[in-house]
Structure 1
């Protein structure tokens, strides 16, 4: 099996069996974003307590890359300090722009499966939509505290 095949399987696994899909009922930051070029819509919710992302969930509709990326992102940020999550957003964004980043810096190895998206510029927005929502929500949580 090639690395591309493995990455496709990881993406499809997160798309077909998304982690953290749903709503958080209490104490949340909610960010709704959409990608008008392809129709992807995402709603990311986080419960931030004392500067730490205690819980992260998402709802949305869109392509496999968009929803798999949201699933991976919510898995990766749970338990991180907000500043660590923002650093992760920066790393992910740089990876999507084709920069070499150390995959060991991601707390969830599955995220590495999305690096091939950088070869398809039209799909980068799909992969980064949930991450942009995370970034906006994390910054909002800092302003509230």
Structure 2
């Protein structure tokens, strides 16, 4: 597949997650809740994780922002559901490496749709948009 075709496919995946967000809303019952915002561009997110025995049982988000931040939140919540917290944090680390254009140490981790965001690394001002939901997840898990 040529670079242009791949770039188009990635844009379509991002726009699909933006227009049809997965896991948007609130978690039923007890949940770890983290509010974060990006004051630079106005993106804001509320992330909720329902964790039982160290495993993310459910993940939801709400907020507003650009297509990059909202798509990333949608992709992230999909990716971490059913994962152990340690694995979710490893995914977050790999995602951060991808955003910085570094070599990713994925191990057995499959980023799936999340790889569509790798082009964001070419636009430093947008990296904070893409990483907002991931930073919220890290903050919530560490607290």
Give the TM-score taking structure 1 as reference length: 0.92
Report whether the alignment pairs 1:39 with 2:76.
Answer: no
Structure 1: gaps of 5 or more residues: 141-145
The 1-side partners of 2:28 and 2:142 are apart by: 20
Instruction: Give the number of aligned pairs.
Output: 140
CA RMSD of aligned residues (A): 1.4
Structure 2: gaps of 5 or more residues: none
128, 132, 137: which one aligns with 2:135? 132
Report whether the alignment pairs 1:19 with 2:25.
Answer: no
Deviation of the 1:115 alpha carbon: 0.3
Paired residues of 2:91 and 2:111 also in contact (CA < 8 A): no
Paired residues of 1:24 and 1:57 also in contact (CA < 8 A): yes
Q: Which residue of 1 aligns with 2:85?
A: 82
Deviation of the 1:107 alpha carbon: 3.5
Deviation of the 1:105 alpha carbon: 4.7
Paired residues of 1:47 and 1:53 also in contact (CA < 8 A): yes
